[in-house]
C-alpha cells in the first residue's frame, strides 16, 4: 500500500516534487519529540492554527507496517517489532520515513507540524539531515506516563495478553515482566502495584507498564533530550511536562514558536 492511499496530500518519491510540492525534509517543520504519555497532545493544542501532518502512528502504518502486514497490526509490542525491523535498513527510522515524503504545499503550507519523533537515532538523523527542522522535546517520568496511559483510554494502547494479573499478585506479575528492572526500581514497582487501590484494574496497570517497557526498549528519551539540548534554543525547546502544567507548556511553546 502506498503512502498516498493512507496519508492525504502526501506521497513517496519518485517522481520528483511538482511546483506545488516539496520534500518534507526541505520544509521548516516543527517536530514534537517524546515517547507515549509525555504530553504531546497538549503541545499540539498550543500550536493551534498550524497545519498538523498525519501523526507518527499513521506514517508508521503507511510506510513501515502495511507493506509487511496489509491487514494492519493493533498490538503495540508487535508494532515495535516491525518498526525496529524497518530501522535495520533505515537508520533514521521515522525521521527518514517522514523526510522522504513529498507534500502538497497547497494543503500543508510550508511550515507544518509533526507528532512526533522518538529516541536518539531519530533526532540525530533529523537534526543532521534536515537543517530546517525545529524540535519541541517533552519529557515525563515513566511512572507518570503509566498513570497518563491509564487515564486516557486510547484504544491504541493495547498489547496481547501474556498471562493476566487476575488471580495473581500484581507486584509479582510486574516483577516477572522482561526488562522491568531497567525501567522501574523496586520502590516504583511497589507504587505501581498499589494503583488498583485507586480504582485502576490490575490487568490495565500491567498492560500499560508493558507498553512503557517495550517503548523504552526501542527508544531512549533521555539520550534524545541530551542531544537536542546541544542544538541551542533556536532549534530545540525542552519541556518537563510534570514541572510545567498544561497552560505553562502551551505558553512556553507559543513564545518559542
29-86 residue pLDDT tens: 999 999 989 988 888 888 877 899 999 989 999 988 988 888 888 887 888 888 888 9
Cα dist from 30 to 24, 25, 57, 73, 182, whole Å? 11, 11, 17, 28, 32
What pLDDT does 153 receive?
Answer: 54
- Checking if the pLDDT of 194 tops 70, the result is yes
pLDDT (mean) for 103-107 = 97
Domain boundaries, the chain: 3-141+219-256, 143-216
- Note every long-range contact of 190-194, with CB atoms under 8 Å and residues 24 or more positions apart, other chains counting: 191/143, 192/143, 192/146, 193/169
Cβ neighbours of 59 (radius 10 Å) = 23
pLDDT (mean) for 103-113 = 96
What pLDDT does 168 receive?
Answer: 65
Q: Out of 52-56, 80-84, 107-111, 225-229, which region has the weakest mean confidence (pLDDT)?
A: 80-84
What pLDDT does 121 receive?
Answer: 92
Residues of the chain with pLDDT > 70: what percent? 91
Average pLDDT, the chain: 89
pLDDT (mean) for 8-27 = 96
- Checking if the pLDDT of 157 tops 60, the result is no
pLDDT (mean) for 195-223 = 93
Q: Which fold has domain 3-141+219-256?
A: Rossmann fold (3.40.50)
Strands 113-117 and 30-33: what pairing? Answer: parallel
- Cell numbers of 207, please? 498492560
pLDDT (mean) for 145-153 = 86
Please give the residue that has the higher pLDDT: either 147 or 152: 147
pTM: 0.84
- Checking if the pLDDT of 241 tops 80, the result is yes
Residues of the chain with pLDDT > 90: what percent? 68
What pLDDT band is residue 155 in, cutting at 50, 70 and 90? very low
Find, among 2, 157, 154, the residue nearest to 70 by Cα: 2
Cα dist from 210 to 85, 118, 178, whole Å? 20, 18, 9
Amino acid at each position: 500500500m502506498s503512502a498516498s492511499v493512507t496519508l492525504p496530500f502526501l506521497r513517496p518519491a519518485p517522481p520528483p516534487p511538482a511546483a506545488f510540492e516539496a520534500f518534507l525534509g526541505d520544509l521548516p517543520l516543527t517536530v514534537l519529540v517524546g515517547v507515549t504519555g509525555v504530553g504531546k497532545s497538549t503541545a499540539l493544542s498550543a500550536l493551534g492554527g498550524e497545519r498538523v501532518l498525519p501523526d507518527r502512528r499513521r506514517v508508521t502504518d503507511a510506510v513501515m507496517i502495511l507493506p509487511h502486514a496489509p491487514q494492519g497490526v493493533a498490538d503495540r509490542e508487535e508494532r515495535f517489532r516491525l518498526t525496529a525491523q524497518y530501522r535495520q535498513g533505515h537508520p533514521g527510522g521515522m525521521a527518514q520515513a517522514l523526510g522522504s515524503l513529498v507534500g502538497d504545499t497547497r494543503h500543508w503550507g510550508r511550515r507544518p507540524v509533526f507528532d512526533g519523533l522518538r529516541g536518539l537515532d531519530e533526532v540525530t538523523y533529523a537534526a543532521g539531515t534536515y537543517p530546517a527542522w525545529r524540535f519541541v522535546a517533552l519529557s515525563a517520568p515513566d511512572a507518570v506516563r503509566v498513570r497518563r496511559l491509564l487515564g486516557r483510554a486510547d484504544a491504541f494502547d493495547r498489547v496481547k495478553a501474556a498471562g493476566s494479573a487476575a488471580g495473581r499478585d500484581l507486584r509479582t506479575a510486574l516483577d516477572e515482566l522482561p526488562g522491568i528492572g531497567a525501567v522501574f526500581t523496586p520502590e516504583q514497582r511497589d507504587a505501581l502495584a498499589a494503583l488498583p487501590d485507586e480504582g485502576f484494574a490490575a490487568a490495565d496497570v500491567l498492560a500499560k507498564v508493558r507498553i512503557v517497557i517495550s517503548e523504552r526498549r526501542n527508544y531512549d528519551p533521555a539520550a534524545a533530550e541530551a542531544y537536542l539540548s546541544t542544538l541551542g534554543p533556536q532549534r530545540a525547546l525542552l519541556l518537563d511536562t510534570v514541572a510545567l502544567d498544561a497552560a505553562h507548556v502551551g505558553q512556553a511553546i507559543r513564545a518559542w514558536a
